[in-house]
Amino acid sequence: MGFQPLFFMSDSKYLKGSCQHCNNHIEFPAEASGSVVSCPHCGSQVTLIADTSTAPQKSSQPTALFAIIGTVAIIALIGGGLFFWKQKRGSTPSRSSIPMAANINSNSADQSVTTTSNTNATSSAQTGTKKPKSPSDLTVGDIQLQQTKGSSLVYANGTLKNDSDYQRFGIRLELDLFDAKGQKLSTKAQDYINVIEPHHDWQFHALVVDSKAKSAKVGSIKEED
């Protein structure tokens, strides 16, 4: 009991020892060395003797601090490594795509010189190895005149296919309308779309205002250049 106050002394060096009975570690102030105390683990009376193998330590806190610093450093290293890995991954495709793009450009340039002397230079530069786009790439299948549910509106519905490798812009579809006897009517039906992606379909819906209309055929397909 007389030894107890020593624990509250400030700035005392702490030593590490072990219980002679249960072999558990005991930390004690250097001043308490040689004292006989009851072991905090097993309660036996033990003499406080510092382990000669371990250097005197002020406390175990520096060890804990080093452990935290070490953990932070490892996390930072992993984080840094991931960052560089991502950077490498991110830059690799763009680096490899540059020579590829250059190859395509040189190919198309070669072709424009050798094979397309009869077409204008700007279109051959744009088309490269693709076959040039043509109005015949835009095809329309069957057209159905259908009344909209819950209203009296009639639409001419169908599909316009873009069978080309190009985006097609500003497509205006004009339909001729015919009555029950097959007589062409003076009114027409129209629909418009801003863009059709390469090899995509456009489901068009052209409003039919003439109630006499019973069938529709493609009148014209216009597109922006």
Q: Which of 22, 49, 140, 185 binds Zn ion (CB under 5 A)?
A: 22
Q: Which of 15, 32, 37, 39 binds Zn ion (CB under 5 A)?
A: 39
Q: Does 48 bind Zn ion (CB under 5 A)?
A: no
The residue (of 42 and 64) whose beta carbon lies closer to Zn ion is 42
The residue (of 39 and 154) whose beta carbon lies closer to Zn ion is 39
The residue (of 24 and 71) whose beta carbon lies closer to Zn ion is 24
Q: Does 16 bind Zn ion (CB under 5 A)?
A: no
Sign of the torsion angle spanned by Cα atoms 82, 83, 84, 89: positive
The residue (of 43 and 135) whose beta carbon lies closer to Zn ion is 43
Q: What is the dihedral of CA 72, 77, 79, 84, to 10 degrees?
A: 160
Q: Does 37 bind Zn ion (CB under 5 A)?
A: no
Q: Does 161 bind Zn ion (CB under 5 A)?
A: no
Q: Where are the beta strands (DSSP E) in the chain?
A: 14-18, 25-29, 36-38, 45-47, 138-140, 144-147, 154-162, 168-178, 184-196, 201-208, 215-222
Q: Does 36 bind Zn ion (CB under 5 A)?
A: no
To the nearest whole angstrom, how small is the minimum distance from the Cβ of residue 1 to Zn ion?
18
- For tokens 């077409």, the residue is 119
* Close Cβ partners of 157 (under 8 Å, ≥ 6 residues apart): 143, 144, 145, 146, 203, 204, 205, 206
List residues binding Zn ion (CB under 5 A).
Answer: 19, 21-22, 39, 41-42, 44
